[in-house]
Amino acid sequence: MTIDLGFAWLRLPGGDEVGIVDVPGHQDFIRNMLAGVGPVDAVLLVVALDEGVMPQTREHLAILGVLGVDRGVVALTKRDLVDDEWASLARADVATALGGTPLAGAPMVEVSATAKTGLADLVERLESVLRTAPARRDLGRPRLAIDRAFTLTGFGTVVTGTLVDGAFAVGEEIEILPTAQRARIRGIQTHKRALESASPGSRVALNLTGVEKDELERGMVIVRPGTLAPVSVISARIEVLRSASDSLAHDEAVKVHVGTAEVMARVSLLEAATIEPGASSWVQLRLATPLAVAVGDRFVIRRPSPPETLGGGAVADISGERMKRRREAVAVLERRTAPTAASRLLAALDAPRTIEDAGARSGLDAGERDLAARELVESGRAVPLADALVARESFEAFATRIERTLAAAHRRAPLRAGAPREEVRSSVDLPAKRFSAMVERLARDGRIAERGSALALAAHMPTLTAEQETAWSRARTALGREPLQPPSPATLESEYGLDRELVAALAERGDLVRIGTEAVFLPDAVVRFAEAVVSELVATGTITVARARDLTGSSRKHVLPLLSFLDDRGLTRRSGDDRVLVMPPEQARERVATLVARKKVAQ
């Protein structure tokens, strides 16, 4: 009697090699059977004709259904021990038992191992069934669930398993989960032949350096470092088998079999209080020890005692979040398992994530993922934010939060240009790069505006109280008296009540132009000064500080910052003690006209 897994391979008549995992049939060893049956392309179900359908035959068929193994061949063995009539009765029995299972209608071949009859036919059927199996996907994220770990004299540590989702090559560093230990691949064998690399779907023996046999066991998973992380909470839709002896209750303890691992878990039912036999429901499984699983992995749940297969499902979410609000949780999970790749990816973009991260969460391969991402961005259902993508809905939530923060800041400080950028960023808690992309987009859409180092709602204008307006109107009269020899900011504050903040607000509104730290002018005065300087430069080519002062009726104290201002605006530049024009006259005149209108943005 087979107790544990056995491994062999076979060359098919067409030349292909097929790896074979022999699993125990007896009910006492179902847990070992489960460790071997997961990642297969097809199954060879063996029923002895002299015994017919046994209880374990039904349990095995149910497990195949749960795991989604939906192609195979049935070998009816010991044909030599029964007569024709018995054989045809048994055969009919088996056909009935297959009804409603993934092997319904599968080819059945009568064989005798002792008389060696039917064997060639069996292999041929197996070959044609395998031809219908879909190609193994390569997600560039290889995983190997360990089914055996041992030491081999002259080699050291060896593990075996079925490689899925990617390829491994000799020399590669690997990570062992859940322990997160690192090791290196020293050698690879498939069917006892040494290879440089192994491809997804093959039975593989890895010779590892940097790890001892004692540190490895069945159930652990070998991955490329950093590509998968163990989780303690997984969400899934579980189906309880119609044949289950009882319903599954909330908080019940079950055994979860996934890959080659087996762990205890508690079931949180997210919908009803129980799942009746034949029914299904969204659940969260709280695992006793963390498991390295990926979205889409099929698993089986069993009741520990008396041992019984209850059902299972496919992993829908591995974010590890405990979902408390059940109805919402179910809606999220429904979306994460939606039929199209685009809607699954979208469901994983509830927060800004890199496309790799979102793809892994939705169980998509690189091709599907990239196609879906393009579709989502083109249709506007997702928005790019620097290195990440985010669903439109979540983007809107961020945008609303930013707008609220700004509105509150404007209410608190109506005179201010806006709220400090960092303060706004902390209100949404986005990394700097993504926040900048967010701001850029909202600014482009005309929702918010960048005002120097501050952010504001696009429509925000600093607003003055009635007293401030009165103070401003008195100050303006004073500034207009000798526009190019205006009162200093200190005087404006002491005589007219224009403090720094009010001046900044007036500058923001475009009523004042601040030049340097020590001068404030009316916009018209700045334009007049610039016009005079430009005309002189067009006429004579250069201008001195003294000449500019005399021409405009200003003072040296004011002319110095005004000339620097023109330099800063790219209109003029210093040449010794003089200024010269740096652009053709026509262009200079145009620039003068926009000099203070542009002030508001540049500040």
Strands 72-77 and 108-110: parallel
Total number of residues binding ligand GTP (CB under 6 A)? 13
Choose the stretch contacting ligand GTP; rule: CB under 6 A; options: 21-29, 101-109, 297-305, 510-518: 21-29
CA pair distance 127, 107, nearest whole angstrom = 12
Question: Is residue 539 exposed (0-12), middle (13-18) or buried (19+ Cβ within 10 Å)?
Answer: exposed
CA pair distance 32, 35, nearest whole angstrom = 5
For ligand GTP, the closer of residues 6 and 570 by Cβ is 6
Do 500 and 506 meet the contact criterion of CB atoms below 8 Å apart? no
349, 359, 425, 431: which is closest to 392 by C-alpha?
Answer: 349
For ligand GTP, the closer of residues 30 and 522 by Cβ is 30
Residue 388, C-beta contacts closer than 8 angstroms, at least 6 positions apart = 352, 353, 354, 355, 434
Helices (H), 320-465: 326-336, 341-347, 355-361, 366-378, 392-412, 421-428, 432-444
Q: Which residue is nearest to Mg ion (CB)?
A: 2
Omega of the bond leading into 230 within 30 degrees of 0 (cis): no
Helix (H, G, I), strand (E, B) or coil at 339: coil
Q: Considering the rule CB under 5 A, would residue 26 count as an interface residue with Mg ion? A: no
Smallest distance, Mg ion to C-beta of residue 23, A: 8
For Mg ion, the closer of residues 2 and 400 by Cβ is 2
Helix (H, G, I), strand (E, B) or coil at 444: helix
Smallest distance, ligand GTP to C-beta of residue 222, A: 28
Smallest distance, Mg ion to C-beta of residue 5, A: 10
Q: Considering the rule CB under 6 A, would residue 81 count as an interface residue with ligand GTP? A: yes
For Mg ion, the closer of residues 2 and 114 by Cβ is 2
Smallest distance, ligand GTP to C-beta of residue 73, A: 15
Query: Please, what is the Cα angle at 212 between 209 and 215, to 5 degrees?
Result: 125
Work out what residue 486 binds among ligand GTP, Mg ion, none; the CB cut-off runs from 5 to 8 Å by kind.
none
328, 309, 319, 308: which is closest to 349 by C-alpha?
Answer: 319
Q: Considering the rule CB under 5 A, would residue 209 count as an interface residue with Mg ion? A: no
Q: Considering the rule CB under 6 A, would residue 199 count as an interface residue with ligand GTP? A: no
Q: Considering the rule CB under 6 A, would residue 80 count as an interface residue with ligand GTP? A: yes
DSSP output for 476-510: HHHHHHSTTSPPPHHHHHHHH---HHHHHHHHHHT
| Alpha-carbon 143 to chain mean position | 19
Site string for ligand GTP, 24-63 (x = CB under 6 A): xxx-------------------x-----------------
Work out what residue 81 binds among Mg ion, ligand GTP, none; the CB cut-off runs from 5 to 8 Å by kind.
ligand GTP
Q: Considering the rule CB under 6 A, would residue 118 count as an interface residue with ligand GTP? A: no
Smallest distance, ligand GTP to C-beta of residue 116, A: 9
Smallest distance, Mg ion to C-beta of residue 6, A: 7
What tokens appear for 15 in the block? 């030349």
Figure out which of the listed residues 77, 160, 207, 268 binds ligand GTP, where binding follows CB under 6 A: 77
Using DSSP, how many helices (H) and how many strands (E) does the chain show?
A: 19, 32
Q: Considering the rule CB under 6 A, would residue 113 count as an interface residue with ligand GTP? A: yes
Figure out which of the listed residues 60, 78, 298, 549 binds ligand GTP, where binding follows CB under 6 A: 78
Choose the stretch contacting ligand GTP; rule: CB under 6 A; options: 112-120, 442-450, 521-529, 564-572: 112-120
Smallest distance, Mg ion to C-beta of residue 46, A: 8
Q: Which residue is nearest to ligand GTP (CB)?
A: 25
Q: Considering the rule CB under 6 A, would residue 462 count as an interface residue with ligand GTP? A: no
Q: Which residues bind ligand GTP (CB under 6 A)?
A: 1-2, 24-26, 46, 77-78, 80-81, 112-114
